[in-house]
Amino acid sequence: MNFLKTELRGKVALIGLDRPQKRNAISDAFVEELDTAVTWAEENGKAAVLHANGPHFCAGLDLAEHVKKTPFEGVHGSRRWHQVFDRIQRGKLPWFSALHGAVVGGGLELASSTHVRVADKSAFFALPEGQRGIFVGGGASVRTARLMGVARMTDLMLTGRSIGADQAELWNIVQYVVPEGQALAKAIELAAQAATNAEISNYAIIHALPRIQDMASDDGLFVESFIASFTATSPEAEQRLNEFLGKKSGSKVARPGPEK
């Protein structure tokens, strides 16, 4: 692959954006490689981490390539981003992203398709589409708006301003902020932990929670009952419940450590 690097660490599949000279700007060919890499991750990992090489996570859409497109080619391009990012958000694996430097435009859209986002202190977030005369096209109006809320996203898009990692945590864009240079290690640690869960629970968590959030309360509760019953009656659930009841070491919920 030209734009990505893959690596397996135990049960965690790592995909590294690797076009640092162009700040990991996402071209059409980049999206196709990502599609291939997601297939590889699903075939080899139980959890996955998306990270980036170079000074920034991702500068978003490859603007050099984009200016040459016809309107209809633009629609197809955006729909392709949706398809591939959807394979991350609604695929087989829990995805963790490690963010640093610029996480802007399509880079934020890509990060928004992962389930848990870890930013280091160098990370900054922006949606400069308005300044470029374009609109978000990689899923931000759905995914990113659900994270930070429409009012905040409207502000970011209208003003083109950037926010830092701490503000992004307050705005629910990221779940963790760590010291500079430590996002990848933290994301791998979290992914390795998630990889020890029952596969069916992870699948239910990443698929059912966002769908139930989009349902009416009564529908959501109804669907929850079926998913709860389906997962709880699996052989793996029985084994794991017996491990706890048999007082197997490590099966107790631990008190929180010093970090939040």
Catalytic residues: 109, 129
The residue within the footprint of ligand 1HE, chosen from 129, 177, 188, 191 (CB under 6 A), is: 129
- Residues contacting residue 24 through CB under 8 Å, at least 6 positions apart: 3, 17, 18, 52, 53, 54, 56, 57, 58, 59, 107
CB of 153 to ligand 1HE, least distance (A): 13
Cβ at position 40, least distance to ligand 1HE in Å: 23
- Kindly state whether residue 105 participates in binding ligand 1HE, applying the rule CB under 6 A: yes
Closest approach of Cβ 124 to ligand 1HE, in Å?
8
Q: Does 106 help bind ligand 1HE (rule: CB under 6 A)?
A: yes
CB of 32 to ligand 1HE, least distance (A): 14
Site string for ligand 1HE, 173-202 (x = CB under 6 A): ------------------------------
Question: At what angle are helices 199-213 and 235-245 packed, to 10 degrees?
Answer: 110
Contact 106, 86 (CB under 8 A): no
Q: Identity (one letter) of the amino acid at 187?
A: A
Rounded Cα gap, residues 110 and 82, in angstroms: 10
The answer to whether 34 contacts ligand 1HE (rule: CB under 6 A) is no
Q: Is 88 in the site for ligand 1HE (CB under 6 A)?
A: no
Please give the backbone phi and psi of residue 217, each rounded to the nearest 5 degrees, phi first: -55, -45
Residue from 12, 13, 17, 25 binding ligand 1HE (CB under 6 A): 25
Between CA 252 and CA 256, with CA 253 as vertex, the angle to 5 degrees is 140
Q: How many CA atoms lie within 13 A of 60 on its CB side?
A: 24
Extract the tokens encoding 27: 């071209």
Instruction: Give dist(CA 20, CA 18) in Å, integer.
Output: 6
Looking at residue 149, its amino acid is: G
Return d(Cα 253, Cα 232) in angstroms, integer: 18
**Does the protein bind ligand 1HE through residue 138 (CB under 6 A)?**
yes
- What is the C-alpha separation between 82 and 64, in angstroms, rounded? 20
111 sits near ligand 1HE (criterion: CB under 6 A): no
Footprint (CB under 6 A) of ligand 1HE, residues 3-22: 22
- Shortest CB 135 distance to ligand 1HE, Å: 7
Return the structure tokens found at 169: 């945590």
Helix and strand counts by DSSP (H, E) for the chain: 12, 9
Binding ligand 1HE by CB under 6 A: which of 30, 81, 96, 125? 81
Among 16, 91, 94, 137, binds ligand 1HE (CB under 6 A): 137
Question: What does the per-residue mask of binding to ligand 1HE show for 43-62, with x meaning CB under 6 A?
Answer: ------------xx--xxxx
- Estimate to the nearest angstrom the gap between the alpha carbon of 190 and the chain centroid: 13
CB of 105 to ligand 1HE, least distance (A): 2
Question: Per rule CB under 6 A, is residue 141 in the interface with ligand 1HE?
Answer: no
What residues line the site for ligand 1HE (CB under 6 A)? 22-23, 25, 55-56, 59-64, 78, 81, 102, 104-106, 128-129, 132, 134, 136-138
